[in-house]
Amino acid sequence: MYRIEEFSAAVHVPFRDVTLAVVLGCASSGALAQVADASTGRGPALLDEVTVTGEKVQRSVRETASSVVVVRPQDMKARADARKVDDMLRDIPNVVYNGSVGAPVIRGTDGQGSNSGSGAFFGGTVPRARINLDGHYLSYWESTFGGTSIWDVDSVEVFRGPQTSAQGANSIAGAIIVHTKDPTFQREGKAQLQAGNLKSRRASVMFSGPVLDNELAARVALDYSGRDTFIDYVNPRYSKGDTDTGLKDFNGRVKLLWTPSAVPGLESKLTVAHTRTNRPSTEAAAPPYDKLQNRTLTMPTFKSQAWTAVSDTRYDLDGMASINNQFQYTDGKTTRYSVPWTNGGGQYRLSGHFR
């Protein structure tokens, strides 16, 4: 596997020293731990509770029976080279990506489904792994040829194993639940620039703050990233045409949070997102693999774009129960670019009479 080295403009603050105590279940070990805390003047280290919402009920990981891994903001911050959600999932056990283009394979089940590439484009396919982004289930094209950015993401829940009871159809392999950060009533913002080899580049910006004090808040997040392919197409007959083998991703998102003081307990959130992506069908090298070359005659590419709007409304009935409602709108388009080729063959015409 080849990793693209990048140089980030972000400044990373080193972690503070944390004392870890291993409890062996005996009284003497507990006493030693207490003595150590007394000698250093520190109290016991308290870990934040990790909550899971992918099963439609909010509870801690400890209380969740399903096999789930939660990726949090501190995990994403530690990976300066990560741009997309799939970059963070490659190190999770039982989750495999067969290449830089494609859906995850979870516990041996391919998330793309039975078809891929041109077969899926012309014949259709049904994904086997659900990817839920802020309540919107990504289509096959959004999940396979799209790039779900980790910029301004709050958490990623990875369920390994069938989730049809909680996520519905097309989740026999598992489900990936992505939550982006909500608007805040305190002004905040951040930005980043990255550059690297293969013309790798990335620019991101986020701003959040109040529009009406304590009633309406907005959050805007923009992220663009791109790079050239690491494959050299060396066939003299290679035809480029209108294809573009570079990888490009744009993710834009606007969130509005409304908490009217006239209606206590009511919370309404509107999320509008736009994505534009460009991907080759695959990034694959031919033998000898270390040269990263391919002798194919052409490489079809896919351009996808999508608009998504999700409206979430919640009304809390004095803490006893709540009413939740969600509306969604999605409009997407995927275009496949390819160049016809004959591999040097000729066309012959026969004429005459046959009896």
Region at 120 (left for phi over 0; alpha for psi -120 to 50; beta for the rest): alpha
Q: Does 21 score more than 80 pLDDT? A: no
Q: What is the pLDDT of residue 5?
A: 42
Q: What is the pLDDT of residue 63?
A: 86
Question: Beta strands of 27-151 (E only): which ranges?
Answer: 51-52, 59-60, 68-71, 95-96, 105-106, 109-110, 129-133, 136-137
348: confidence class by pLDDT, cuts 50, 70, 90: very low
Q: Does 174 score more than 60 pLDDT? A: yes
Pairwise pLDDT comparison (57 vs 191), residue with the higher score: 191
Pairwise pLDDT comparison (253 vs 35), residue with the higher score: 253
Contact between 230 and 198 (Cβ < 8 Å): yes
Q: Which of 60-74, 106-120, 260-274 is predicted least confidently? A: 106-120
Most confident of 27-31, 108-112, 311-315: 311-315
104: confidence class by pLDDT, cuts 50, 70, 90: confident
Q: Which of 47-51, 142-146, 340-344 is predicted least confidently? A: 340-344
Residues 6+ apart with CB under 8 A from 333: 304, 305, 306
Mean pLDDT of the chain: 82
Cis peptide leading into 288, omega within 30 of 0? yes
Residues 6+ apart with CB under 8 A from 58: 51, 52
CB atoms within 10 A of CB 271: 23
Q: Return the C-alpha torsion angle 83, 84, 87, 93, nearest 10.
A: 150
Centroid of chain to Cα 250: 13
- Percentage, residues of the chain above pLDDT 70: 81
Contact between 336 and 121 (Cβ < 8 Å): yes
Spatial separation of the C-alpha atoms in residues 202 and 276, rounded to whole Å: 14
Q: What is the pLDDT of residue 169?
A: 81
Centroid of chain to Cα 348: 51
209-241 confidence digits (pLDDT tens) = 999 989 999 999 999 999 999 999 999 999 999
45: confidence class by pLDDT, cuts 50, 70, 90: low
Structural tokens at position 110: 């391919």
Residue for token digits 């089940």? 109
Contact between 36 and 21 (Cβ < 8 Å): yes
φ and ψ of 344, to 5 deg: 85, 0
The Cα diameter of the chain in Å comes to: 106
Q: What is the mean pLDDT of residues 265-271?
A: 95
Per the document, the length of the chain is 355
Q: What is the pLDDT of residue 41?
A: 55
Q: Does 309 score more than 70 pLDDT? A: yes
Closest CA to 176 of 275, 69, 79: 69
Q: Is the pTM of this model over 0.95?
A: no
What strands lie across the sheet with 105-106, from one edge to the other? Answer: 95-96, 105-106, 109-110
Contact between 289 and 321 (Cβ < 8 Å): no
Most confident of 79-88, 257-266, 317-326: 257-266
Structural tokens at position 262: 């006239």
Spatial separation of the C-alpha atoms in residues 238 and 1, rounded to whole Å: 25
Burial class (CB in 10 A: 0-12, 13-18, 19+), 330: middle
Pairwise pLDDT comparison (281 vs 141), residue with the higher score: 281
What does 248-259 look like in DSSP terms, one character per residue? Answer: EEEEEEEEEEE-
Buried b (16+ CB within 10 A) or exposed e, 151-185: bbbebbbbbbbbbeebbeebbbbbbbbbbbbbbeb
Closest CA to 116 of 244, 262, 300, 305: 300
Q: What is the pLDDT of residue 59?
A: 86
Q: Does 253 score more than 80 pLDDT? A: yes
Residue for token digits 């999605």? 330
